[in-house]
Amino acid sequence: MHDAQYVDIYFFQYYISIAKKKKAKKNTKKNIVKMNITQHIYAQEINERVGYAQLEFLKDGQYISRQKMTQDKIRIGRDYRNDIVIKDLTVSRRQCLIMKKDDKFVLRNFSENNVTCLNDQIIKNKAEIKYGDIVRMGRVTFKFVDISELV
């Protein structure tokens, strides 16, 4: 069924509320019933629940952080309204966007002043980004990593 490896068994707790009516009053009273459900989850399923990819950031060759891409669109730039905020003047306020479209990822450049490079090629408008690709924005670089490689 799945070609991915097994991951530890995960334990989920579900709380179900059951409504009971009192005969004398028209009010409803809810009792909470706790049910424990244990299920096997494959690595692929966890990746689908957690996120699509991970961005590994470097600045001047030094590791900064890792950020998971957990939504279909992720905006990157210096402005606080971006999903990933980079406090570096070599990065524009609205530098770029990564979006998941069908089974592909697209890198879109918004900056005219500070270039966005994909594998050392300047992106004028947009380009497909693949796992393992290197994106550079000024002095900041990130690697686009498949999250299943990390499990």
The verdict on 28 and 58 lying in the same domain is no
Degrees (nearest 5) of the Cα angle 121, 85, 101?
Answer: 55
Q: State pTM to two decimals.
A: 0.64
DSSP code of 42? B
Spatial distance between the Cα atoms of 81 and 109, rounded to a whole number of angstroms: 17
Nearest to 63 by CA among 6, 141, 10, 151: 141
SS3 assignment, position 112 = coil
Q: What is the pLDDT of residue 45?
A: 52
**Domain membership flag for residue 3:** no
Query: Does 41 share its domain with 55?
Result: no
**Structural domain for 89, as ranges:** 51-150
What is the C-alpha to C-alpha distance for residues 94 and 108, in angstroms, rounded to an integer? Answer: 11
Q: What local confidence, expressed as pLDDT, does residue 43 receive?
A: 52
d(CA 100, CA 85): 19
Going by pLDDT thresholds of 50, 70 and 90, the confidence category of residue 95 is very high
Q: Is residue 110 part of a domain?
A: yes
**Same domain, yes or no: 29 and 85:** no
The larger pLDDT score, comparing residue 138 to residue 36, is at 138
Question: What's the domain count of the chain?
Answer: 2
**40 and 59 share one domain:** no
Query: What percentage of the chain has pLDDT greater than the value 90?
Result: 38
Residues 27-59: tens digit of each pLDDT: 555 555 545 455 455 555 544 444 578 888 887
Give the H/E segment covering residue 116.
strand 116-118
In a shared domain, residues 89 and 142:
yes
